[in-house]
Structure 1
C-alpha cells in the first residue's frame, strides 16, 4: 500500500482517493480500542441496553459535523484539522490546538497500549514491559512503511476481524443457554436489562436520554470534527460527498457495533448467572480464556489485538502528520518545504512518537492497580474535546472572536472540565463534559473578543 508515496501528502492523505467505504470502516476501527471491545459487554452485564442512547447521539453528532465542518475542510484542501483554525485566527492558534491534540493522544493512547499488553502477558507469560514493546514495534512497522493507505486498509480488515469475533461469541453464548437466545432475552427482560430509553433528567447519570442525545452528540462532534485522528481519514476521501458518506455511515456502523457487544454482555450475564466481578472489563476476557475452545479462543484474542493496533497505528500516523505540517513545515527555514522533505520528517516523527507512546505505556504500569484504564482514557479525551470543538465553532460562526480570545476560551474550557472531573463527577456524568467545555470556550471567546465601541 505504501509503494509510490513520493511526498507528505501522498503518505499522510493517500493521494486523497481512498474509497469512502474503506474509510468508514477505518473510522470505526480507529475509535474502537481494546477498552471498547472488552468494556461494552461489561456495561450490559452490570446494567442494561441504555448505553445505546449514547450511540444514537453519536450519529446525530456526525451529521452535524458533516453539515458544518466537512465543507470547510474540503474547500481549502487542508492537510490537518488545525489548518482551518490558522485561516481564521493565525498560526499561533493552529500550533496551540495541535499541541493539545498531541498531548491528549500521547496520554490516552498510551493507556490503551498498556491495556492491550495485559491479555498478551496472560497468553504468553511475558512481562508487561515486553508485551508493550512487542505490540508497539509490530504496529510501527506497517504504519511507518505504508503511511495512511496501509493504516486505513489494515484498519478495515481489523474491524471485520473483531466484528466476526463478536458474532462468534454471540453464537457460542446462544448455544450454551438451554433455550438459546429466546431464553437469554426472556431472563434479561425479567431483570429489566432490555431497557433502552431512560427519560430521567439527572446530570449525574451517564446513560439517560438527554445525556445520550446531547452529551453523545457533542462528544461525537468533538472526536470526529476537531480531532486529527479522525479528520485525517475524512480528508483522504475523494471529495466532500465521499467524506460525508464515510462519516455519517460510521455512526450507524458504531450503533450496530455497540448493539452487538451489548448483547454479548447480556449473554455473559446469563452464562455467569449474574455473578459479581471485581471489574467489569474482566468479564468478556475471562469468558474468552476460560470458556471458548482452542482456535476460537485464539481468534477472539486476535480480535483484542486488532482493536488495539487499529487505534495505535492511527495515532502514530496522525501525530506524525501534525508534527510535520503544523510545526516543522511552518517553522522558519522549513516554511515552504517540498513534499519530499515533509515525508522524511513525518517518518522520523512516526518513530519518535512510537517511542514516546511505548514509554508512556510502560510508565502507566505502576499506576495500573489504582485506576481503571477505560476511565483514565475516556477522562483524558473528555477533558479537551469541548475546548477544541468550541474553538472550531468560533472559527466557523463568529466574527467577534480573536486569536487571543479563542486560545483563552479553549484553555478555560479545558480547565472547567478538569474542575468538574476532579470535584463534581458525582453530580455531572462524563457525557456532559464536552458540552460544558464547548459552552465555556464559546462564551469566553465571544466575551474576550469584543472590541470597545467607538464614542
Structure 2
C-alpha cells in the first residue's frame, strides 16, 4: 500500500466515526438512544437494514464463493422478498402499535417473563457469536495478506465501532450506515468496471460470461430436490425465506432499524426497499467474483490465494513438492489462457464448437482442481494451524495485487466499513436487549431514562469487549459467509416459531411454548451436529417443530391466558 491508499482508508474511516458522533452529539433520552427516536425516514431504514446485513464477510467471502462455486449462492436470497412482505404485513404493525423498544418485549405481554427471557437469551447467544465473527473475518484476512498484527487489527476495528456506537446509540448507527453504504457501493462498482477493463481487448463482457458459463460459474438456478445440494431454488425460497423472516422479523439488530421509523408506512417502505434491492445487490457481488474468476483465466493466479499459507509450506520440508505443483499449475494456466483466446478470436459460439470448447475446458479445470487439492494437502501437512482453504482470500488478493493505487485504499475502506456497519448494529442490538429485556426487567424500582441510557452505553462497551475477545480466539471456517448463516439457522427457526405462535395461535399459552422452545433447540443442535440436513432447512424444521410441540403440549399443560399489554 502506498501513501494515497493510507490517506483514502484512514480518511474514510475517520469521517464515518466523526460524522456519527457529530450527528448525535446532543443529549439523548432512552427513546432516541435505544430506539433511535421516531423520525427515521424510509430510505435511511432501507440503507441501514442493508448495511446491517452486508458485513465485511459479504464482501470478502461472497466473491470467493462465486469464484469457486459460481452464481448458485444467489438462490439463498430468493425467499427474502417474500419475507419482507410478511414482516410489513404483521411484524411492523404489531411492534409499532405496542410501542416496544425490543422485539422480545411483546413476548412477555403475550406469554410471560420466562418466555421473553429465553428468547432474548437465544438472541444474545447467536448474535454475540456473530458480532465477534464480523470483527474477526476482516481482521484475520487483512492481517494475513497485509502482514498487519492480527490482535491489533481486531482491537482497532472493534474500538472504532464501540466509540461511535457508545456515543450515539441507535441514531449513530442509522446515520453512519448511509455513508458506509455509499462507500461500499462506490468501491464495488469501481472494482467491477476495472476488472472488465483488464480483460484482453478481444474479450467483451458477453465473452467473459461465456467463459464463466463454460466453467459452470453461471449456473444460477437449481430446481432439483436433492437434499445434498445446499443451494437450490427450493432451499432458498423455503429455508432461506424462513431464515430471512426470522432475521428481519425477530432479530433485534434488524428490528431496531425500523422501530424508530417516523410511521408504520415509513418503516414498511424501508423494508420493501430492502426486499427489492437485496437480491440484485447479492447477484452483483457474486458477479464481481465471477469476473475475478474470468480475470484469472488470462492472468497468473497463485496455487493458493492465502499468502501466509503459501509462505508456510515454502519454508517447510515440502518446499520442493509445492514448487513442483506451482510449476505444473503455471503451465496449466497457460493452456487455459490459450484455449480461451483461440475460442474468442475465432468467435466460435456455435453449439458444436462451444461443446468442444467446454469439453476441453472441463478437462483442464478438473486438472487444476486436483493440483489445488494437492496444494492444500501439503499446506496442512506443513502446519496443521495453517489455513489452506483460500476462498475468503481471493478477492482481497485481487484488490491488493491488481487495482490502481488509491482504489486499493477505497476497497479496504469498503471491507472495514462493512465490518463496522454490521458490528455496530449488532452491538447496539445486544446492548438494547440486555438493557430492556434483562436489566430493566429485573429491577424492582423504576429508574429515570438517563439511568437506562447510561446502562445501555456500559452494555455496549461490555458486548464490544466480548466480541473482540471472541474474535481474538476464533478460527476460519470453510467459508465465512456460510458460517454466519449456519449460526443463525441453528437458532432462528426456533425463535421465529415462538413469534408465530404469539401472533397467530392465541390459545397456546406460555408453559407450552417455553418447554417446546427448549426441546426444539436441543433437537436442532443435534440435527446440525450430525449433519442430518443442509443448514438452511434447519430454519423450517425449527419453526415447524416448536409450533407442533407447543400445540401438542397445550393438551397437557394448562396455563392461564392473559390479554396483550405493554410490558416494560
TM score, norm. by length of structure 1: 0.94
Cα offset, 1:310, TM superposition: 0.5
CA contact (8 A) 2:486 2:536 kept: no
Cα offset, 1:49, TM superposition: 2.2
Q: Which of 39, 43, 60 is the aligned partner of 2:65?
A: 43
Q: Which of 199, 217, 238 is the aligned partner of 1:214?
A: 238
CA contact (8 A) 2:61 2:479 kept: no
Pair 1:440-2:521 in alignment: no
Cα offset, 1:265, TM superposition: 1.3
Cα offset, 1:291, TM superposition: 1.2
Alignment of 1:301-340 (within 5 A): 301-334=412-445, 336-340=446-450
Query: 2:32 aligns to what?
Result: 10
Alignment of 1:131-210 (within 5 A): 131-178=153-200, 179-210=203-234
Alignment partners' CA distance in 2, 1:242 and 1:343: 26
Alignment partners' CA distance in 2, 1:22 and 1:257: 17
CA contact (8 A) 2:62 2:481 kept: no
Pair 1:295-2:406 in alignment: yes
Larger deviation: 10-19 or 226-235? 10-19
Alignment partners' CA distance in 2, 1:452 and 1:84: 22
Secondary structure, aligned partner of 1:194: coil
Q: Which of 95, 120, 124 is the aligned partner of 1:102?
A: 124
Q: Which of 94, 111, 135 is the aligned partner of 1:113?
A: 135
CA contact (8 A) 1:387 1:409 kept: no
Alignment partners' CA distance in 2, 1:80 and 1:446: 26
CA contact (8 A) 2:57 2:480 kept: yes
Query: 2:486 aligns to what?
Result: 379
Alignment of 1:44-59 (within 5 A): 44-59=66-81
Secondary structure, aligned partner of 1:333: coil
Against the structure 1 CA distance between its residues 176 and 6, is the aligned structure 2 distance closer, same or farther, given a 3 Å change threshold? closer
CA contact (8 A) 1:85 1:94 kept: yes
Pair 1:347-2:457 in alignment: yes
Cα offset, 1:121, TM superposition: 2.2
Alignment partners' CA distance in 2, 1:108 and 1:6: 28
Question: Structure 2 regions of 5+ residues with no counterpart?
Answer: 1-22, 298-364, 373-388, 559-568
**Per-residue deviation, residues 263-306 of structure 1 (Å, max 9, x unmatched):** 11110111112765642212111101111121111111111101
Against the structure 1 CA distance between its residues 262 and 339, is the aligned structure 2 distance closer, same or farther, given a 3 Å change threshold? same
Against the structure 1 CA distance between its residues 53 and 375, is the aligned structure 2 distance closer, same or farther, given a 3 Å change threshold? closer
Query: 2:502 aligns to what?
Result: 395
CA contact (8 A) 1:115 1:373 kept: yes
Query: 2:334 aligns to what?
Result: none
Alignment partners' CA distance in 2, 1:187 and 1:124: 31
Secondary structure, aligned partner of 1:16: coil
CA contact (8 A) 1:27 1:250 kept: yes
- Larger-Rg structure: 2
Secondary structure, aligned partner of 1:51: helix
Query: 2:49 aligns to what?
Result: 27
**Per-residue deviation, residues 299-328 of structure 1 (Å, max 9, x unmatched):** 111111011110111111111111111112
Against the structure 1 CA distance between its residues 430 and 400, is the aligned structure 2 distance closer, same or farther, given a 3 Å change threshold? same
**Per-residue deviation, residues 49-74 of structure 1 (Å, max 9, x unmatched):** 22222222111112112112211111
Against the structure 1 CA distance between its residues 144 and 123, is the aligned structure 2 distance closer, same or farther, given a 3 Å change threshold? farther
Larger deviation: 157-166 or 5-14? 5-14
Alignment partners' CA distance in 1, 2:255 and 2:433: 12
TM score, norm. by length of structure 2: 0.76
Against the structure 1 CA distance between its residues 267 and 371, is the aligned structure 2 distance closer, same or farther, given a 3 Å change threshold? closer
CA contact (8 A) 1:177 1:183 kept: no
Question: Structure 1 regions of 5+ residues with no counterpart?
Answer: none
Alignment partners' CA distance in 1, 2:487 and 2:76: 18
Cα offset, 1:381, TM superposition: 1.3
Alignment partners' CA distance in 2, 1:197 and 1:125: 39
Alignment partners' CA distance in 2, 1:116 and 1:61: 29
Query: 1:261 aligns to what?
Result: 285
Secondary structure, aligned partner of 2:36: helix
Cα offset, 1:123, TM superposition: 6.5
Against the structure 1 CA distance between its residues 452 and 345, is the aligned structure 2 distance closer, same or farther, given a 3 Å change threshold? closer
Q: What is the root-mean-square deviation of aligned Cα atoms in Å?
A: 1.9
Alignment partners' CA distance in 2, 1:186 and 1:387: 43
How many pairs align?
Answer: 447
Pair 1:234-2:258 in alignment: yes
